Structure 1
């Protein structure tokens, strides 16, 4: 233990001496949490809508006023022809073009039905789908209103059958997207910081030539790995603590469950990430190589973690592949504990898998480290 203590002291001194590294470790992750949590959202607002009104009647103007009153749409103006509207879509000036046909009001009064043409910029398919839902909602409300107005007086006395649904939103009553995103982004920042720092740790010793001096000492391999790992484990816990404080104070994200469970799972999770970083460091010769390899893995882990794309929407082979992704388990656990109030029994399977990963990766890190060339 005394040997490990000296190695840990050496690592902390090296971290504190590097004045350029301290802002990267402590300041940048917190700024990224604040910025990304406000920017990373799937909510669609300020949809740029223009229209072609070939009817020019009171009903067509009333329909346009419905869109102007909607909080999701920004009505930019009217186009005299479909050709000009198509050009505006190509130039990216508008997102949606609504075409109201000629004799829209007359046919609606006579036939009690009509149709509208809608043109959407679907380069981003997910965004276009949401825009279509919002547009249909506005049209449906307009249709419900004019149906009563166009109904014959004798029909208005008839009692209409209507079924209402009363939703109850659990775990995120205000439907605030930051409540969903902040815990996941916090996981990514803790992961990236600890993986990159641990991945470049031993490599830096190789580059400056101090690794050979350490290798000729009687330090055992496991003592060296633990001494290298522990300081970054502590940094990961500190970053998590400050991130949770920002999530609660700045973004008002609830912490319903036991915060001790989050720290317990994080303690094991950091062992997985640090073991992976040290394993990468053992097989690279420069910090640049270590950074590229770590970045390759982190990109795959992030995209397949379920943070931005639901795992249930992935192909079967991708869903099975995510079982090897440690970020997936941490994202699920931190949301379960913070937002649902899940207990140890609910996350026991995640904890068991993470413990297995920690044992395997750290065993590989110790095994792959060579004291002789």
Structure 2
């Protein structure tokens, strides 16, 4: 009986031209386009410089800021007040004020106080921009200070090679984002396809023909699950291939963990779609419920915001989010090459979600209204 149910499901998939297009377009959009859209890098920060010293040392500092590659000089203003008008008007992001006596203080071995004022309307741009500028100033102090202590202080501030970044030495945000986006891809595809497939059969009336047969509910759910599992693994292949071909990101030794965790998580995402479809009578209801839960899952899985930075009550809520464990497993497998044994906790959580949600899907499916 399972053979004929699977034959029916695969024929429906083959006849659905929209699905075949979505299986290619969604990985391209998620893995190829989204990493550039969700860029966490801050470039072309506009700096307005107030040089109150007009010395060669202050000019060298201004030139170093401009040559760093992260900043563009929006202009030179005579006073701090004039420079702040640029921030208020939006023509500048940061004000750098070099005090009078800057060169003389440095000649006496002192560290003059340089003022950095950032526009924090855009907190990320203002915060990272000011950190970049502080690093440039520290590098300038290390290069021209002539003191080993001052040089060490500048390097500790991020100006030199004293800091070693493990697993992502260039701090490329795409290395961090792409594994999480693969988790988003599998969640969207598997959950949406399952939910919309069953609800679509409800609206078309074809599911009634299955309901009047002696097919057990568990067998019906299994027949729906297996094709979606195959589609999910195929989308994983597309995601890994696009990540390597476009961004040069490969899982290295973590491929066994990625395959194992994806195989389990696809069962979780598909079961979520089944549960949603069991409580929905129309496509509109299913889409509303699906996007409601998917948005919550993506916002609390640690993809965009570290879970450790959330309030304590929010961290407790994230323990009920299966996407949290899959995203973490994908990142550790990609960046560190972690084995399944090292990710046993995440695997146990995902396995528990798979059992509970699939059991819920079978129990909530009604063969008769």
Instruction: Decide: shared fold, TM above 0.5.
Output: yes
Q: Quick one: structure 1 residues 92 and 161, their matched pair in 2 at CA, closer, same or farther if it must change by over 3 Å?
A: closer
Q: Does 1:262 align with 2:284?
A: no
Q: Which of 24, 27, 34 is 2:25 aligned to? A: 27
Deviations 1:78-116 (A, max 9, x none): 234445433322332221122234554456657945323
Q: What is residue 39 of structure 2 aligned with on the other side?
A: 41
Partner of 1:324, secondary structure, is coil
- Paired residues for 1:204-283 under 5 Å: 204-283=200-279
Greater Cα offset, 305-314 or 100-109: 100-109
- Offset of 1:23 from its aligned partner? 1.4
| Contact 2:35–2:174 (CA under 8 A) maintained in structure 1 | yes
| Contact 1:201–1:278 (CA under 8 A) maintained in structure 2 | no
Greater Cα offset, 108-117 or 169-178: 108-117
| Contact 1:184–1:331 (CA under 8 A) maintained in structure 2 | yes
Q: What is residue 361 of structure 1 aligned with on the other side?
A: 357
Partner of 2:227, secondary structure, is helix
Q: Distance in 1 between the 2:246 and 2:149 partners? A: 48
Greater Cα offset, 52-61 or 315-324: 52-61
Q: What is residue 64 of structure 1 aligned with on the other side?
A: 62
| Contact 1:272–1:362 (CA under 8 A) maintained in structure 2 | yes
Q: What is residue 94 of structure 1 aligned with on the other side?
A: 92
Q: Distance in 1 between the 2:225 and 2:86 partners? A: 56
Q: Quick one: structure 1 residues 222 and 161, their matched pair in 2 at CA, closer, same or farther if it must change by over 3 Å?
A: closer
Partner of 2:188, secondary structure, is helix
Partner of 1:200, secondary structure, is helix
- Paired residues for 1:67-78 under 5 Å: 67-78=65-76
Greater Cα offset, 285-294 or 39-48: 39-48
Where structure 2 has 5 or more consecutive residues not aligned to the other structure, the ranges are 157-161
Q: Distance in 1 between the 2:105 and 2:337 partners? A: 55
In the alignment of these two chains, the number of paired residues is: 362
- Offset of 1:294 from its aligned partner? 0.9
Q: Distance in 2 between the 1:181 and 1:345 partners? A: 24
Q: What is residue 321 of structure 1 aligned with on the other side?
A: 317
- Offset of 1:162 from its aligned partner? 6.9
- Offset of 1:258 from its aligned partner? 4.6
- Offset of 1:57 from its aligned partner? 3.0
Q: Distance in 1 between the 2:266 and 2:108 partners? A: 69
Partner of 1:305, secondary structure, is coil
Greater Cα offset, 281-290 or 307-316: 307-316
- Offset of 1:282 from its aligned partner? 0.6
Deviations 1:292-333 (A, max 9, x none): 111111111111111111111112222221111111111111
Q: What is residue 194 of structure 1 aligned with on the other side?
A: 190
| Contact 2:142–2:150 (CA under 8 A) maintained in structure 1 | no
Q: Quick one: structure 1 residues 9 and 343, their matched pair in 2 at CA, closer, same or farther if it must change by over 3 Å?
A: same
Greater Cα offset, 42-51 or 163-172: 163-172
Q: Distance in 2 between the 1:14 and 1:39 partners? A: 34
Q: What is residue 203 of structure 1 aligned with on the other side?
A: 199
- Offset of 1:365 from its aligned partner? 0.5
Q: Of the two, which has the highest radius of gyration?
A: 1
Q: Quick one: structure 1 residues 167 and 85, their matched pair in 2 at CA, closer, same or farther if it must change by over 3 Å?
A: closer
Q: What is residue 185 of structure 1 aligned with on the other side?
A: 181
Q: What is residue 152 of structure 1 aligned with on the other side?
A: none
Q: Distance in 2 between the 1:257 and 1:111 partners? A: 51
| Contact 2:145–2:151 (CA under 8 A) maintained in structure 1 | no
- Paired residues for 1:165-180 under 5 Å: 166-180=162-176
TM-score by length of 2: 0.90
Q: Distance in 2 between the 1:258 and 1:54 partners? A: 55
